[in-house]
């Protein structure tokens, strides 16, 4: 009986610990993401509060249906997921939402790791909405 109680206590504490760890990693992602977003200048064209600036707002896009036009002129309907957001940063001219066909985002000169951090940061912001 004692043994079982002990196991239960360990289980409960390990759950609390892993929740805290997740909380911390989200806080780190938020800090790093905010810094990159501001320092690289994404903030000059994109709002994370919902306004349309030169570029589309990025805070409530995840899971949305979007119609885009690809470089070859082909239009298609897709659901905004992680891969789409990643492509939007890595290769902005590959596809554009129809309402931004005539707007240009330059390909940012950043590392693969920074692209992934920004992608995860944008997803975190979307999950918090």
Does residue 123 belong to the site contacting ligand HEC (CB under 6 A)?
no
Does residue 50 belong to the site contacting ligand HEC (CB under 6 A)?
no
Does residue 32 belong to the site contacting ligand HEC (CB under 6 A)?
no
Q: CB–CB of 98/68 below 8 Å? A: yes
CB under 8 Å to 86, separation ≥6 — which residues?
Answer: 115, 116, 119
Q: Which range binds ligand HEC by CB under 6 A, 6-14, 26-34, 70-78, 89-97? A: 89-97
Record the tokens describing residue 36, joined without a space.
Answer: 């990159």
Does residue 97 belong to the site contacting ligand HEC (CB under 6 A)?
yes
Between 26 and 84, CB nearer to ligand HEC: 84
Query: CA-CA distance, 78 to 42, in Å (whole number)?
Result: 23
Does residue 38 belong to the site contacting ligand HEC (CB under 6 A)?
no
Between 96 and 120, CB nearer to ligand HEC: 96
> How many of the other CB atoms lie within 10 Å of CB of 95?
19
């Amino acid at each position: 009986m004692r043994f079982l109680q002990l196991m239960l206590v360990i289980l409960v504490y390990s759950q609390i610990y892993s929740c805290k760890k997740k909380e911390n990693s989200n806080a780190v992602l938020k800090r790093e993401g905010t810094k990159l977003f501001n320092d690289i200048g994404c903030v000059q064209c994109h709002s994370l509060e919902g306004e349309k600036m030169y570029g589309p707002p990025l805070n409530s896009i995840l899971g949305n249906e979007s119609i885009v036009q690809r470089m070859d002129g082909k239009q298609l309907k897709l659901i905004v997921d992680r891969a789409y957001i990643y492509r939007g940063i890595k290769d902005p001219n590959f596809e554009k939402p129809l309402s931004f066909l005539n707007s240009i985002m330059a390909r940012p000169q950043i590392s693969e790791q920074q692209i992934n951090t920004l992608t995860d940061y944008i997803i975190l912001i979307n999950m918090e909405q």
